[in-house]
Amino acid sequence: MKNIILIPLIIILYSCTTALNLHKYENRESSIASFKIIEAPYEFNGKWFFPYDYKELIEIGTASRINLRSGEKTKNGEIFHVDVSTGAHRSLGLASNIRVTNTENGYSMIVRINHRGAFSNTNILELSDIVFDKLELKDNGNIVELKLISDNETFILRKAKTYNAEKKILSNAPINDVSIISIDSDNNYENNDNAYKSNNENVDLDGFRIDKGIRDKDIYINVVTLIYKSNAHELKKKLSSIEKLDIVKIMINGKEKYNVIIGPFDDLFELNQVLKNNTIQEYEDLSIFLK
């Protein structure tokens, strides 16, 4: 009789846990709306992640090169190639199309997310070599904007020099370490008349463009978001050795909350030096944002 009672209790507890994690994201700003889990939760280095059915998603952070070699399979069974604009993300649906923008020069293109990766608080994307080259990203760190694109933007796989046949599509716990902060889009683009070309062929099929507005924004770190102002001031005292520390009041769903932020930063070197501080790495809301 006891076993019959325990089974539904376990189901109820699991459902409550899931609801709480969805509730955490639904109470953030309007940059994200999660409705259902689309893939089984998974663990990586002691942290749990839920792939969500995002309706909107904007993230700011650093990008690194994806740890795959040409010919290897991605998480969703596609064949990876360095000359195809693809990437890895911890929780976006596979496959999703996103727009990635290098905030330093405004270079922007569409990338297909078909693999899992980028499990850091601030490193939000892993990208193929063609994306790094075309957006002129640096291996020592560039700030990028990730934006889940709507249906009015299309993605076309560009021609690669090899593995043409292999590029055919073969398809087939909570996230508690990453904070997502929206930014205002200026929609201020310019055409790139010298679009990326190879062998005299225009291969600008991945939505390449230049966003002039994003280059003028300042870079900040959000350490944590707190309900009580007194707690924010206590944390500010704890982190007093860090320069450019401040408290900003924000409104989320009509309620006052307080962000403990650092910045603005003069350059990426200064930003990366602060990110190495172990004291701030422990906070779940740690993220990068532009203003």
169 close to 221: Cβ distance less than 8 angstroms: no
115-146 burial string, b = 16+ CB within 10 Å, else e?
Answer: bbbbbbbbbbbbbbebbbebbebeeebbbbbb
pTM: 0.69
Cis ω before 264 (30° cut-off from 0): yes
Which of 93-97, 129-133, 177-181, 250-254 has maximum average pLDDT?
Answer: 129-133
Residue 200 has pLDDT above 60, yes or no: no
Amino acid at 120: S
Tokens in use for 160? 């690669």
What domains can be seen in the chain, in order of their start residue?
20-216 (2.40.40.10), 219-290 (3.30.70.1070)
pLDDT by residue (tens digit) across 230-285?
999 999 999 999 999 999 999 988 899 999 999 999 888 888 889 888 888 888 88
Whole-number Å distance between alpha carbons of 71 and 80? 6
For residue 219, the cross-strand partners are 290
**Residue 175's pLDDT band (boundaries 50, 70, 90)?**
very low
31 close to 182: Cβ distance less than 8 angstroms: yes
**All residues at 6 or more sequence positions from 44 whose CB lies less than 8 Å from its CB, including other chains:** 90, 116, 119
177-206 burial string, b = 16+ CB within 10 Å, else e?
Answer: bbbbbbbeeeeeeeeeeeebeeeeeebbbb
65 close to 216: Cβ distance less than 8 angstroms: no
Residue 209 has pLDDT above 80, yes or no: yes
Amino acid at 227: I
Whole-number Å distance between alpha carbons of 113 and 91? 10
What's the distance, CA 16 to chain centroid?
A: 26
Residue 34 has pLDDT above 70, yes or no: no
Residue 190 has pLDDT above 90, yes or no: no
Quote the DSSP letter at residue 213.
Answer: G
129 close to 85: Cβ distance less than 8 angstroms: no
